[in-house]
Amino acid sequence: MERRPGVPRLLREINDRAALELLLASGPLTRGQIGQLTGLSKVTASQTLARLEERGLVEVVGEQAGNRGPNAALYGVIPSCAYVAGLDVGPDRVSAAIADINGHVVAEVTASPDGADDPVSLVHSAVVKACRGGRVALSRLRGVVIGTPGVVDPRTGDVRFSFDLPQWHEGIHEALARDLRRDVTIENDVNLAAIAERARGAAREADDFVLVWVGRGIGLAVVLGGRLHRGRSGSAGEIGYLPVPGVPLADDVRAIPGRLPSLRGGLQSLVSSEAVGELAREHGFDGATAADCVTAAVAAGAAGEPLLDEVAARLALGVASVCVVLDPGLVVLAGEVCRAGGEGLAGRVEEAVARICPIPPQVITSQVDGNPVLRGAVLAALDQAREEIFTA
């Protein structure tokens, strides 16, 4: 009989991972519960927990009373065994959050760039400040994920171009990793919002959906089969450049050194904070931001309905174009403008799309609390850190 000395070790690794994943997903469990839920025998479950304890990953966190015999020990993952950092970087602010391996946020900070435009110093400052706030050493971070607007090349990890962040370019990814002395992931901000939506929001457990983000510009995240679809170059979802009837095409969208691509033309000419703000003023609503204008329209009742109808009709052009190609079944409206419009805007978009699409999707509003980009960055960083622990 052929001997395979690697098999016992492989089985131990599989058992350890199964138990750890279960504890991370379910919270504290007894040895017996771990055995029942994983199919491990009591002896194997005990051995697995002993190895995880020895690695400093789990500990006894309490007891559970039983019908007979002594109380059973409850095992839980040690929160401080690893930490992650998630960041949301925009032109006007940088937000950073530190979370333990269980996903509990221990510190969150937001700062203004204050004229600084060097990505490395901006990120370094935000991460260090957040770590200090959570009393976490920088060396304890197992994952760092940064959300930025623009196109991120999935092959190199660099921002190919970002209208709002012109200093983010090829080479920044490597410079950030060198500065923080650990792997760093840069991800499109709307993609991170979709990750948060699937984990904690309106698209919970949905395998196929799209998220439409309306803020300064308009962006789209595509999730198919439970996975983000980024496209070959990372530009999947740049819906702002979608040609629509009655709107001029963009002048030149090419990213040329020394010149930013045009933001004129296409769907972004109809649906963006600037476009919605102008439309709101035409309807008699004014505010500091487009979201404020939409909020005022919602509060105005019947007087605000014409504005909401027009915003929904414009959004429906982009949503319908995506749905007839991808048939996602679910569309989540996110970003400050869509959040301000609420379910009233979502319902109008759904009705407008139904008049265009043969099989209309469900359209709902984002349900992620707080900053969805930051939440998504933390979740993506947790996935990386946990995978590192699982395979260590």
Whether residue 73 is found in the same domain as residue 89: no
Comparing 45 with 5, the larger pLDDT belongs to: 45
Residue 1, domain member (yes or no): no
Q: What is the mean pLDDT of residues 115-138?
A: 91
Beta-carbon-side half-sphere exposure of residue 67 (alpha carbons within 13 Å): 0
Number of folded domains that form the chain: 3
Place of tokens 């769907």: 267
| Each residue's pLDDT tens digit, 48-90 | 999 999 999 999 998 887 667 678 889 999 999 999 999 999 9
Residue 21, domain member (yes or no): yes
- Token representation of residue 48: 């697995």
Whether residue 67 is found in the same domain as residue 109: no
Whether residue 129 is found in the same domain as residue 73: no
For residue 203, what is the DSSP state? T
- Token representation of residue 72: 């059973």
Give the residue numbers spanning the domain of 358.
203-365
The Cα 18–Cα 16 span in angstroms is 6
The Cα 186–Cα 173 span in angstroms is 7
pLDDT at 138 over 90: yes
Which of 77, 104, 129 terminates a domain? The answer is 77
| Each residue's pLDDT tens digit, 197-218 | 999 999 998 999 999 999 888 9
Q: What is the mean pLDDT of residues 294-298?
A: 96
| Mean of the per-residue pLDDT values of the chain | 90
Whether residue 223 is found in the same domain as residue 361: yes
Residue 90: how many other CB atoms lie within 10 Å: 18
Residue 296, domain CATH: 3.30.420.40
Whether residue 323 is found in the same domain as residue 210: yes
Residue 16, domain member (yes or no): yes
Which of 60, 77, 94 terminates a domain? The answer is 77
Whether residue 179 is found in the same domain as residue 88: yes
Q: Chain-centre distance of CA 181, in angstroms? A: 23
Whether residue 71 is found in the same domain as residue 89: no
Residue 252, domain member (yes or no): yes
Whether residue 244 is found in the same domain as residue 339: yes
pTM above 0.85, yes or no: yes
Per-residue model confidence (pLDDT) at position 350: 97
Side chain identity at residue 172, one-letter code: I
DSSP letters spanning 83-140:
EEEEEEE-SS-EEEEEEETTS-EEEEEEE--TT---HHHHHHHHHHHHHHHHT--GGG
Whether residue 210 is found in the same domain as residue 327: yes
Residue 61, domain CATH: 1.10.10.10
Per-residue model confidence (pLDDT) at position 13: 86
Residue 48, domain member (yes or no): yes
Per-residue model confidence (pLDDT) at position 116: 67
The Cα 48–Cα 40 span in angstroms is 9
Which of 48, 77, 106 terminates a domain? The answer is 77
Whether residue 260 is found in the same domain as residue 128: no
Per-residue model confidence (pLDDT) at position 85: 98
- Token representation of residue 117: 């435009």
Residue 2, domain member (yes or no): no
Whether residue 348 is found in the same domain as residue 209: yes
Whether residue 306 is found in the same domain as residue 176: no
The Cα 23–Cα 241 span in angstroms is 45
Q: Which of 369, 337, 335, 386 is nearest to 196 (CA)?
A: 369
3-state DSSP call for residue 356?
coil
Residue 197, domain member (yes or no): no
Residue 187, domain member (yes or no): yes
Comparing 58 with 7, the larger pLDDT belongs to: 58
